[in-house]
Structure formats: C-alpha cells, structure tokens
C-alpha cells in the first residue's frame, strides 16, 4: 500500500522519467526509432523496476495517469528532436486500460497538436494480450489512430496467443518478435527456425519486423541475413535518457 501511495505521488510530482532505447534499421545501419520506457527512481528505495511498478499501476488504476504522463513526455521529446531536424520515431507502450479508456485518440490528437509533431513520428506498441482482451473494440480504436498516421506495433509477439485470423484483421504496421525467441537454446540456435517463421509471417501480412532483446553482434548479423527489418537490444544500447540518446546519434552520423 505504501508503494502504491508513493507511486501516486511520484506520478503527480513528475518523478517518472522516460528513457529511450534505440531501434536500428538493419538495411541502413542507422538508428531511426526509439522505444520509450518508464523509469522510477524512488527517494528511499532507489531504482524500482517497471516490471514491478507497471503491474502495480495496472492493478490500482494508476496506469491511465502514468500512461498519459509517459505519452506526453514521449511526444514532447519526439517533437524536440523533430524540430532540431532529427527524425526519430518514438514508440510508446500502451496498456490495455489506456486503449479501453475511450480517450486515447483524443489524447493523441491533443499531444500531436500541442507539440506540432507529425503523426508519423509516433508509434504505439500494443501487446498481444492487450489486443486480445477486447479484439473488436481494439480494431476500432486502432483504425482511428492509424487514419491519423500513427504507426501501430504488436509487441511481445509469440508469447500471448493471438489467433492468426485476428492478426490479419488488426491494422498493424510493425511486428515485434518477443525476445524469448532470440535466446540461444543451450548454446545452439534452434530458435532461429521460429524467428525465421515469424519474420515470414510478418512480411506476408505487410508488416515490418523488429527483433527485440538482441544482445550480441552474431545475432545482429543473423537477423540481417534473415531479412529482419529492425533490431533493438543491449548490443546496440540499453534504454538511456534523451540527452544520452542524442549523443548516440552524434557518434553515428
């Protein structure tokens, strides 16, 4: 209960920070996008993992406020980059309750307006389980967002269960292969078979495919050979504050 109260205060006091993890375009070798990830540094407890406070926020209803806060910080940063001539598409994780709230589209409209951010610079990541919770309602919201030019991704693909017929009906631009598919199986790479199949599935449905959790250079080479479009993971960079992200770009260009 104390942690819940602290989280509420942290949100109100803008103590939830957003870090950015680069996504590498495997065709050009350039960083073209970033995933926004919430970070909480608790005054007494130190760093608290989003693996703890995101589920807490979901259980207590705080996720709507937290989610709006993260969405706003992300749009502000994306716009700041964009108006400096740095085109980084920023991807924000959206929880089921945000998609259900009925106000996500309005919120997105207001933020794009407020920060003069073109819709194409914003991507929303929706997990398989979020989409399957109320698939028909999700499809309606997704069409509204996509009509505005927002990019939509299915996150953690392969871990939940979305029926393949739904996968075809969701208006999606990007498929993110869950990182569990990239892990090496006792040193051998039999998981490569699944990765290859998921890439083919994504491309067959006109999606671009992102591999996440890429930790070594060998995996990067293999993913490129398999025709995967983007890679994200510690081998490129951990999630970092915006200023540090900008420095990663400076090194690159």
Query: Quick check: 132 and 161 in contact, CB under 8 A?
Result: yes
* Binding residues for ligand G restricted to 115-174, rule: CB under 6 A: 155-156
What does 50 interact with, of Na ion, Mn ion, ligand G, none (CB < 5 to 8 A by kind)?
A: ligand G
Candidate list 73, 77, 89, 93; residue touching ligand G; CB under 6 A: 93
Q: How many CB atoms lie within 10 A of CB 142?
A: 21
> Which range, of 40-48, 141-149, 150-158, 190-198, touches Mn ion by CB under 5 A?
150-158
Binding mask 33-62 toward ligand G (x if CB under 6 A, else -) reads ----xx----------xxx--x--------
234 binds ligand G, rule: CB under 6 A: yes
Looking at the Cβ atoms of 47 and 165, the one nearer to ligand G is 47
Place of tokens 């740095």: 86
Using CA atoms, how far apart are residues 82 and 76, in angstroms rounded to an integer?
A: 10
Question: Which of the residues 66 through 85 are near ligand G (CB under 6 A)?
Answer: 67, 70
- Dump the DSSP string for 98-135: HHHTS-HHHHHHHHHHHTT--GGGEEEEEEHHHHHHTH
- Helix ranges (H only) for 61-103 are 63-83, 96-100
| Residue 233 interaction partner, one of Mn ion, Na ion, ligand G, none, beta carbon < 5-8 Å per kind | ligand G
In terms of Cα–Cα distance, which of 226, 228, 218 is closest to 157? Answer: 228
Stretch that binds ligand G, among 79-87, 144-152, 192-200, 209-217 (CB under 6 A): 209-217
The Cα-based distances of 77 to 50, 123, 188, 233 in angstroms read 20, 13, 40, 21
Does 99 help bind ligand G (rule: CB under 6 A)?
no
Q: Shortest Cβ distance from residue 73 to Mn ion (Å)? A: 16
Residue 125 near Mn ion by CB under 5 A: yes
Report which of 248, 193, 224, 189 is spatially closest to residue 33, judged by C-alpha positions: 248
Q: Please give the residue ranges that form the binding site for ligand G (CB under 6 A).
A: 21, 37-38, 49-51, 54, 67, 70, 93, 95, 155-156, 179, 212-215, 233-234, 239
Q: Please give the residue ranges that form the binding site for Mn ion (CB under 5 A).
A: 93, 125, 155
């Amino acid at each position: 209960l104390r942690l819940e109260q602290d989280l509420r205060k942290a949100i109100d006091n803008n103590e939830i920070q957003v870090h950015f993890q680069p996504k590498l375009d495997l065709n050009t070798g350039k960083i073209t996008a970033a995933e926004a990830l919430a970070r909480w540094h608790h005054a007494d407890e130190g760093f608290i993992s989003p693996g703890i406070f995101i589920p807490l926020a979901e259980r207590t209803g705080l996720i709507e406020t937290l989610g709006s806060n993260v969405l706003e910080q992300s749009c502000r940063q994306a716009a700041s980059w964009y108006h400096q001539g740095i085109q980084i598409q920023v991807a924000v994780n959206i929880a089921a309750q945000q998609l259900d709230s009925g106000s996500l589209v309005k919120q997105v409209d207001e933020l794009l307006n407020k920060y003069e951010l073109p819709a194409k610079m914003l991507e929303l990541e929706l997990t398989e389980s979020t989409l399957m919770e109320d698939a028909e309602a999700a499809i309606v919201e997704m069409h509204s967002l996509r009509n505005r030019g927002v990019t939509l991704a299915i996150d953690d693909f392969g871990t939940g269960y979305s029926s393949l017929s739904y996968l075809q009906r969701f208006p999606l631009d990007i498929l993110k292969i869950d990182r569990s598919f990239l892990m090496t199986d006792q040193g051998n790479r039999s998981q490569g078979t699944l990765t290859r199949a998921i890439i083919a599935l994504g491309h067959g449905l006109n999606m671009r495919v992102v591999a996440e959790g890429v930790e070594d250079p060998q995996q990067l080479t293999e993913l490129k050979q398999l025709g995967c479009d983007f890679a994200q993971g510690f081998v490129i960079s951990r999630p970092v504050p915006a200023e540090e992200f900008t420095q990663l770009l400076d090194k690159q260009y």
